[in-house]
């Protein structure tokens, strides 16, 4: 795993790990192409991008992926119809 910053390990946790899109794909169950689409249109987990344009490398912070995934847990199919994720990934109720 890549670490967010070079410092002693005592100050870092696994939640600070940077994940590649392939690793985030395994954590979310979404394909890498679906994650790329969500980066484009919004609604996916927050990500970090170094450099601009198509040459920039994309990473996800493990903590953010966990939070995004937890925000999308539903207990029934009626929950899905009533909830839509906003750009930040936080659920909101549609009246």
Strand order in the sheet with 57-61: 2-3, 17-19, 57-61, 48-50
Closest residue by Cα to residue 27 from 81, 65, 77: 65
| Number of domains comprising the chain | 1
pLDDT tens per residue, range 39-67: 999 999 999 998 877 778 999 999 999 99
State the Cα–Cα distance between residues 48 and 56, nearest whole angstrom. 10
Judged on CB neighbours under 10 Å (0-12, 13-18, 19+), 62 is buried
Residue 81 resides in a domain? no
Residue 86 resides in a domain? no
**Placement of tokens 């979404």 in the chain:** 30
Residue 42 resides in a domain? yes
- CATH number (domain holding residue 21): 1.10.1660
pLDDT tens per residue, range 11-46: 556 888 999 999 999 999 999 999 999 999 999 999
Residue 84 resides in a domain? no
Higher-pLDDT residue of 69, 76: 69
Range(s) of the domain holding residue 7 = 2-70
């Amino acid at each position: 795993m890549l670490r967010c910053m070079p410092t002693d390990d005592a100050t870092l946790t696994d939640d600070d790990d940077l994940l590649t899109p392939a690793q985030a794909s395994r954590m979310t169950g979404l394909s890498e192409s679906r994650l790329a689409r969500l980066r484009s249109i919004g609604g996916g987990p927050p990500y970090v991008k170094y450099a601009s344009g198509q040459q920039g490398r994309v990473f996800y912070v493990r903590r953010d992926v966990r939070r995004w995934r937890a925000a999308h847990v539903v207990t029934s199919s009626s929950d899905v119809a009533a909830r839509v994720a906003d750009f930040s990934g936080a659920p909101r109720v549609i009246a």
